[in-house]
Amino acid sequence: MAALEIQGLAKTYSSGFWHATRKVALQPLHLNVEEGETFGFLGPNGAGKTTTLKLLMGIVFPTAGSARILGHDFHDPEIKKQVGFLPEQPYFYDYLNASELLDYYARLSGVSREQRHKKIPALLETVGLGEAGRVPLRKFSKGMLQRVGIAQAIVHDPRIVFLDEPMSGLDPIGRREIRELIVNLKREGRTVFFSTHILSDAEALCDRVGIIHKGLLRGIGVIENLKSKIADTSEVVWRGTDALATVSDLLTQSHVTGEVVCGVISGQNQDLLLERLRHQGAHLISVTPIHGTLEDYFLEHTSEQETITT
């Protein structure tokens, strides 16, 4: 079953006295996330990631489209018992301590007193705040706040968790801790939908990713598949500079060191190049495939729009 089905969700903000200035924050978005999947929603700052999450959480209202979470309309308040959410750079009531905060959010999600008493100390242990349960949140570091943020998102045992830039602003240790928490969520069978612009986090955690830029979904799929869509190139090295003139039209780059030539070629021209080299009697030294990275794919799909608009 799809944990999340987004059907043409779109958002345009109007501003100005007569609401005359319009800004498209999200163009109609179609997206499905399966139950148990960890889905990364990638995009540069201002791409529309937070807007999408705000729409799904009912914080802002869509201009068009709808969505279903675990088979229910996303506006249905009851489905939110199954939903956890961590906003970007969260602020929590600093006059509360971590235990009180979790108790408050658990009450709002309808968790019984008995369950709260049992669950909250255990959850604080899970997120590494076992000792800090009674410490006021105003004394928490950013990393601790982020961990308590994840704890509040799962205190009611939701089936799907939305995390908005959960690793932003954290030091490498903090990022690793949050990464481990997300891995645990996946291990527990929860669906995780998280937005990020840190590609290494997405590569490490996600089953699938979607790339959004300027409010438009640019690509979606399994990371390996996306990477394979990046122009497939190989590095070919041979001995014999005489052959260079006959293959130069196939090469995108070349470099000569003495008698050795190193050339970069797209995958589709590889056979042709090898055939010509054989004809010319060049001595082939190596053929090394150059793999595309998620970063390449990301840059290709997020710079494309820049070219169109400029």
Contact residues for other proteins, defined by CB under 8 A: 13, 54, 57-61, 77-78, 80-81, 83-87, 90-93, 95-96, 104-105, 107-110, 152, 156, 162
CB of 176 to other proteins, least distance (A): 24
**58 or 292: whose CB is closer to other proteins?**
58
**191 or 269: whose CB is closer to other proteins?**
191
CB of 80 to other proteins, least distance (A): 4
Q: How many CA atoms lie within 13 A of 11 on its CB side?
A: 21
Q: How far apart are CA 157 and CA 147, in angstroms?
A: 16
**100 or 203: whose CB is closer to other proteins?**
100
**96 or 198: whose CB is closer to other proteins?**
96
| CA torsion through residues 105, 110, 114, 115, sign | negative
Q: How far apart are CA 50 and CA 67, in angstroms?
A: 16
Cβ proximity of 107 and 99 under 8 Å:
no
**95 or 306: whose CB is closer to other proteins?**
95
CB of 62 to other proteins, least distance (A): 10
What is the identity of the amino acid at 158?
P
Token pair in block for residue 213: 């830029």
**54 or 218: whose CB is closer to other proteins?**
54
Residue bearing tokens 């004394």: 139
Residue 36 neighbours by CB distance under 10 Å: 16
Q: How far apart are CA 195 and CA 86, in angstroms?
A: 11
CB of 247 to other proteins, least distance (A): 58
**108 or 231: whose CB is closer to other proteins?**
108
Token pair in block for residue 16: 């100005």
Q: How far apart are CA 163 and CA 236, in angstroms?
A: 44
Nearest by Cα to 9 from 85, 69, 70, 80: 69
CB of 166 to other proteins, least distance (A): 14
CB of 305 to other proteins, least distance (A): 24
CB of 147 to other proteins, least distance (A): 15
Give ∠ CA 21-23-29 in degrees, rounded to 5. 150
**153 or 205: whose CB is closer to other proteins?**
153
Residue bearing tokens 């005359």: 20
CB of 105 to other proteins, least distance (A): 7
Token pair in block for residue 192: 């995780």
